[in-house]
Amino acid sequence: MTIENTLLCLLDLEAIRDLARRYAPCVWTKDVEAAIALFAEDGEMNMGDRPSIKGHPALREAYQEMINGKLLQPFVHNHVIDLDGNRATGTCYLDLRVTVDDKAMIGAGYYNDTYIKSDGIWKFQARNLTLVYLVPITEGWVQQSARQAS
């Protein structure tokens, strides 16, 4: 492999890792349009507990419903990627903090992703979330926030 090929490979890996790094802050800040822009036009999200969501219009609708009014804080790490030309697959792990029905919850899982490079830009072709657990925290940020507001 030439130095130029190695550099191009490293640039591709970094651009793919940046997708996951950009995805999490989009969810934190409830920036639906920025989150959707990370997906290919026919990109797909599968959360396991509902039918797969495919294409920008469906993703937009689902994300607006999912993140509207909720505390949803994903922490993404340990990203492993396998490149194959203008396609790639990868896995990254998820720690999750979320409020569900006014309860503080903590979860963990992983994304199995498929990526595609189109017009020189990497996008999610598919994100498949496996949530290993999502459990309530007895004393969490919901109770603490309520006490601080009093």
Q: Per-residue confidence at 139, pLDDT binned at 50, 70, 90?
A: low
Question: Residue 119: which region, alpha, beta or left (left: phi > 0; alpha: psi -120 to 50)?
Answer: left
Residue 61: CB atoms within 10 A of its CB come to 12
* Residue 140 CA: distances (Å) to CA of 66, 74, 100, 104, 147: 21, 16, 12, 5, 11
pLDDT in the model for residue 69: 74
CATH number belonging to the domain at 3-149, selected among 3.10.450.50, 3.30.470.20, 3.40.50.170, 3.20.20.140:
3.10.450.50
pLDDT in the model for residue 140: 58
Are the CB atoms for 6 and 14 separated by under 8 Å?
A: no
Q: Nearest 5°: phi and psi at 34?
A: -65, -40
Kindly report, residue by residue over 16-65, the tens digit of the pLDDT.
Answer: 999 999 999 999 999 999 999 999 999 999 988 788 999 999 999 999 99
pLDDT in the model for residue 43: 97
* Residue 76 CA: distances (Å) to CA of 27, 49, 146: 12, 20, 28
Domain ranges of the chain: 3-149
pLDDT in the model for residue 31: 95
pLDDT in the model for residue 149: 62
**Is 101 strand, coil or helix?**
coil
pLDDT in the model for residue 145: 53
Q: Per-residue confidence at 76, pLDDT binned at 50, 70, 90?
A: very high
Kindly report, residue by residue over 87-113, the tens digit of the pLDDT.
Answer: 999 999 999 999 888 888 999 999 999
0.85 exceeded by the pTM?
yes
pLDDT in the model for residue 48: 82
Q: Nearest 5°: phi and psi at 65?
A: -70, -45
